[in-house]
Homo-oligomer: A and B are copies of this chain.
Amino acid sequence: MKPTDMPKEGAEMTEETEQMIEKNCAKEPENVASPGDAKEMRVVVLTSFGGLNKLRVTKKPMPDPQEGEVKIRVKACGLNFLDLMVRQGNIDNPPKTPLVPGFECSGIVEALGDNTTGFEIGDRVMAFVNYNAWAEVVCTPLDFVYKIPDDMTFTEAAAFSMNFVAAYMMLFEVANLREGMSVLVHSAGGGVGQAVAQLCSTVPNVTLFGTASPCKHEAIKDSVTHLFDRNIDYVPEVKKISPEGVDIVLDCLCGENTGKGLSLLKPLGTYILYGSSNMVTGETKSFFSFAKSWWQVEKVNPIKLYDENKVMAGFSLLNLLFKQGGCSQVKNAVHKLFSLYNEKKIKPLVDSLWALEEVKEAMQRIHDRGNIGKLILDVEKSPTPLMANDSTETSEAGEEEEEHEGDNDNKERMPFIQ
């Protein structure tokens, strides 16, 4: 990441309308049957990298599908930990702001670009998007769009795409999960963690070790064989139960945990780094955090892996999709997952639904690790009065004010959970 890539705050704001959406302008759920004539759409916009106050709901011109693209009337969007990192600019090569965040959504096909085969208007789909998912309408290349099973709700589909695909590809393609193996996953209560738990349960006799905040243990204890407090050192806890270690370690923590994860592997075991949520600590973070993490992470000598018969891997679904042309590999995983869904072996766990206007509260909840399962932005949902008041309160001064560590951290919030 080059500092020169970073736009100045407030720069390049001209192309978006600055008009805030009034609370009462949110559509009623009953009122969305024929929205195709609108020339504008509601979106969540990140005005510049920083705290929650950089997020707002605004209107943008409705996009038209280009050649090979599918235009989707969005029903639901997924919110991931990664979206927090994007908000903070805490990723490698961040895009320019203002931008519309979000990498996944579900909805109904509304139009097709030229040479866009395989879909029809009215198809129920889920899609990966390289940003711009948190909007009423999304256009994305057909390779990133999948028809969803008839029984799958839009909420489930938006909760499904990134988390289940990542969990599936890590467990079954990067690692090779088989009967009788053991897996360690961090943030076992989160979206990926719960997808991992469900996929592990599709294989006979898999032992799942998980870390999670103690407050979540009661809620997720049936999905994880052995649960540990995320605030304690899990290495001795795992070794007490399984002195020889585990077969697969899924690590979204990074930093010192790579060494810990490798040390916990059985021979031929696989450590997978799939995220770096330890990079997100406060509400805002220096743009150099990613680069700093890079240097702080312990590098590994291949001869150590040879000596110990271990496998070290990294997995980034978004890089695979949008930088590395991995659509066909992902499509293959999606189809296998749909089969498992149709056989009722897996079912996305949704933590809560939020209106677009409630995106700050939703982000705060995922930042505070309050969620169990997936947070969903429900495009048709009206903000609850309390949430809506809260949501618009700080947004007007957003793009001008300086950021403060811990901004918004101390407000008491009671998210609306469905």
Contact = CB atoms under 8 A, between A and B. Distances in A.
B306 A316 contact: yes
A6 interface: no
Interface string A268-312: 101001111000000000000000011001111111111111111
Contact of A314 (B173, B298, B307, B325): B307
Nearest to A178: B173
Contact of A312 (B92, B169, B305): B305
B316 A307 contact: yes
Contacts of A270: 311, 313
B174 A173 contact: no
Interface string A312-341: 111110011000111001000000000000
B312 A267 contact: no
A184 interface: no
A326 B267 contact: yes
Given A299-B301, A301-B299, A312 B313 contact: yes
A303 B308 contact: no
Given A301-B297, A311-B311, A174 B306 contact: no
A316 B309 contact: yes
Nearest to A304: B314
A contacts with B: majority SS? mixed
Given A309-B314, A314-B309, A303 B267 contact: no
A299 B297 contact: no
A254 interface: yes
Nearest to A313: B311
B307 A303 contact: no
A277 to B, nearest CB: 12
A418 B397 CA distance: 85
A316 B176 CA distance: 19
Number of this chain's copies in the assembly equals 2
A174 B308 contact: no
A309 B320 contact: yes
B303 A276 contact: yes
A379 to B, nearest CB: 31
A53 B313 CA distance: 44
A160 to B, nearest CB: 20
B174 A320 contact: no
Contacts of A169: 268
Contacts of A316: 306-307, 309
B303 A254 contact: yes
Given A300-B299, A300-B300, A312-B311, A267 B306 contact: no
B326 A268 contact: yes
A258 interface: yes
Interface in A63-119: 92
Contacts of A294: 301, 303
Contacts of A326: 267-268, 309
B254 A302 contact: yes
Nearest 7 interchain pairs by C-beta = A306-B314, A305-B314, A299-B299, A311-B313, A267-B324, A273-B302, A273-B306
Given A174-B311, A267-B329, A300-B302, 6 more contacts: A169-B268, A176-B176, A276-B303, A299-B302, A302-B312, A310-B314
6 contacts: A169-B268, A299-B302, A306-B315, A308-B319, A308-B324, A309-B320
